[in-house]
Structure 1
Amino acid sequence: MADLRAIEAPFVAVGPSGVAIRDRLKGLTSQDVQVLRVVGDHLGSLASSDLKARCAAALDHDTGQWAERKRALTEVSSSRWAGSITKATHDQWALARRSQLAHIRSLEAGIVTITQRLSLPVGEKGTKKAPGGYHSAQEWFEKTRRLRLLQDRLEQQRADHEAGRVRVVRGGKRLLRTRHNLDAAGLTEAEWRDWWQAKRRFLAADGESGKRYGNETIRVASGGEVCIKLPVQLAHLANAAHGRYVLTSKVSFPHRGDQWRDRVCANRAVAYRICEDVQRGRWYLTASWTIPPVKTVPLEAVRAGGLIGVDTNADHLAALRLDTHGNPVGEPRRFDYDLTSTATHRDAQIRHALTRLLHWAARHELAIAIEDLDFQTEKTREKHGRRKRFRRLISGMPVSKLRARLVAMAAELGITIVAVDPAYTSKWGAQHWKRPLTTKRRPVSRHQAAAVAIGRRALGHPIRRRTAPPPAHQSDEQGHRTVQARSGGPGREEPRPCIPGPRTRFVPPGRGANAGNQDAQHRSERPAEHTQLMLGL
Structure 2
Amino acid sequence: MGGLREMAAPFVALGPCGVAVRDRLKHLTAQDQNVLRLVGDHLGLLASRDLKARCAAGLDHDTGQWAARKRALTQASSSRWAGSITKATHDQWALARRGQLAHIKSLQAGVRTIAHRLSLPVGEKGSKRAPGGYHSRQEWHAKTRRLHVLEDRLQAARTDWEAGRVHVVRGGKRLLNTRHHLEQAQLTEEQWRTRWQAGRRFLEADGESGKRFGNETIRVTCDGEVSLRLPAPLVHLANVPHGRYVLASKVAFAHRGEQWADRIQANRAVAYRILEDTVRGRWYLTASWTIPPVKTVPLAAARKGGLVGVDTNADHLAAWRLDAHGNPVGEPVRFGYDLSGTAGHRDAQVRHALIRLLHWAERHHLAIAIEDLDFQADRTREKHGRRKPFRNLISSMPVARLRARLVSMAAELGITIIAVDPACTSRWGAQHWQKPLTTNTRTTTRHDAAAVAIGRRALGHPIRRRTAPPPAHRSDEQGHRTVQAAPGAQGREGPRPRIPGPRTRSVRAGCGANAGDQDTQHRSGRPAEHEPWQQDSLPLSL
Regarding TM over 0.5, the answer is yes
2:6 maps to 1:6: yes
SS at match of 1:368: strand
Corresponding residue for residue 484 of structure 1: 483
**Are the aligned partners of 1:307 and 1:455 in contact in 2 as well (CA < 8 Å)?**
yes
2:401 maps to 1:404: no
SS at match of 2:397: coil
Q: Deviations over 1:222-279 (max 9, x none)?
A: 1100010000000000000100000000000011000000000000000000000000
Note closer, same or farther for the CA distance 1:71–1:433 as it changes in structure 2 (3 Å cut). same
CA shift for structure 1 position 486: 5.8
Corresponding residue for residue 526 of structure 1: 524
Q: Aligned residue pairs: how many?
A: 488
**Are the aligned partners of 2:467 and 2:483 in contact in 1 as well (CA < 8 Å)?**
no
Corresponding residue for residue 149 of structure 2: 149
2:58 maps to 1:63: no
CA distance in 2, matches of 1:6, 1:523: 36
CA distance in 2, matches of 1:37, 1:338: 37
Q: Deviations over 1:61-109 (max 9, x none)?
A: 1000000000000000000000000000000000000100110000011
2:431 maps to 1:439: no
2:77 maps to 1:77: yes
CA distance in 2, matches of 1:372, 1:91: 26
Corresponding residue for residue 186 of structure 2: 186
CA distance in 1, matches of 2:31, 2:106: 49
2:416 maps to 1:420: no
Note closer, same or farther for the CA distance 1:104–1:2 as it changes in structure 2 (3 Å cut). closer
Note closer, same or farther for the CA distance 1:467–1:411 as it changes in structure 2 (3 Å cut). closer
1:136 is aligned with what amino acid? S
CA distance in 2, matches of 1:436, 1:9: 27
CA shift for structure 1 position 192: 0.4
1:91 is aligned with what amino acid? D
**Are the aligned partners of 1:460 and 1:487 in contact in 2 as well (CA < 8 Å)?**
no
CA distance in 2, matches of 1:522, 1:340: 63
CA distance in 2, matches of 1:137, 1:174: 36
CA shift for structure 1 position 522: 12
CA distance in 1, matches of 2:485, 2:439: 28
Note closer, same or farther for the CA distance 1:190–1:366 as it changes in structure 2 (3 Å cut). same
Corresponding residue for residue 100 of structure 1: 100
CA distance in 1, matches of 2:117, 2:520: 52
2:483 is aligned with what amino acid? Q
Corresponding residue for residue 300 of structure 1: 300
Q: Which has the larger radius of gyration?
A: 2
**Are the aligned partners of 1:461 and 1:487 in contact in 2 as well (CA < 8 Å)?**
no
CA shift for structure 1 position 4: 2.8
SS at match of 2:378: coil
CA distance in 2, matches of 1:160, 1:381: 25
2:304 maps to 1:318: no
**Are the aligned partners of 2:325 and 2:484 in contact in 1 as well (CA < 8 Å)?**
no
**Are the aligned partners of 2:21 and 2:287 in contact in 1 as well (CA < 8 Å)?**
yes
Note closer, same or farther for the CA distance 1:375–1:282 as it changes in structure 2 (3 Å cut). same
Q: Deviations over 1:292-349 (max 9, x none)?
A: 0000000000010000000000000000000000000011000000011110000000
Q: Deviations over 1:456-488 (max 9, x none)?
A: 00000000233689xxxxx9xxxx997316679
Q: Which runs of 5+ in 2 are unaligned?
A: 489-518, 527-542
CA distance in 2, matches of 1:54, 1:118: 42
1:149-228 superposed matches below 5 A: 149-228=149-228
**Are the aligned partners of 2:225 and 2:247 in contact in 1 as well (CA < 8 Å)?**
yes
Q: How large is the Cα RMSD of the aligned pairs?
A: 2.0
2:189 is aligned with what amino acid? E
Corresponding residue for residue 509 of structure 2: none
1:9 is aligned with what amino acid? A
Corresponding residue for residue 41 of structure 2: 41
Note closer, same or farther for the CA distance 1:362–1:458 as it changes in structure 2 (3 Å cut). same
TM-score, normalising length from structure 1?
0.89
Corresponding residue for residue 531 of structure 2: none
CA distance in 1, matches of 2:367, 2:177: 45
Corresponding residue for residue 514 of structure 1: none
Corresponding residue for residue 270 of structure 1: 270
Note closer, same or farther for the CA distance 1:527–1:164 as it changes in structure 2 (3 Å cut). farther
CA shift for structure 1 position 3: 3.9
CA distance in 2, matches of 1:2, 1:191: 56
**Are the aligned partners of 1:432 and 1:465 in contact in 2 as well (CA < 8 Å)?**
yes
**Are the aligned partners of 2:480 and 2:487 in contact in 1 as well (CA < 8 Å)?**
no
CA distance in 2, matches of 1:60, 1:201: 28
Note closer, same or farther for the CA distance 1:486–1:81 as it changes in structure 2 (3 Å cut). farther
1:156 is aligned with what amino acid? A
1:526 is aligned with what amino acid? S
CA distance in 2, matches of 1:527, 1:49: 88
CA distance in 1, matches of 2:130, 2:389: 19
Corresponding residue for residue 355 of structure 1: 355
Note closer, same or farther for the CA distance 1:487–1:425 as it changes in structure 2 (3 Å cut). farther
2:29 maps to 1:29: yes
Corresponding residue for residue 463 of structure 1: 463
SS at match of 2:368: strand
CA shift for structure 1 position 126: 0.5
CA distance in 2, matches of 1:157, 1:5: 29
CA shift for structure 1 position 523: 6.8
1:46 is aligned with what amino acid? L
Q: Deviations over 1:429-464 (max 9, x none)?
A: 000000000001011100000000000000000002
CA distance in 2, matches of 1:487, 1:110: 45
Note closer, same or farther for the CA distance 1:432–1:289 as it changes in structure 2 (3 Å cut). same
SS at match of 1:338: coil
CA distance in 1, matches of 2:424, 2:415: 26
**Are the aligned partners of 2:309 and 2:319 in contact in 1 as well (CA < 8 Å)?**
yes
SS at match of 1:436: coil
Q: Which runs of 5+ in 1 are unaligned?
A: 470-474, 490-520, 529-537
The sequence identity of aligned pairs, in percent, is 74
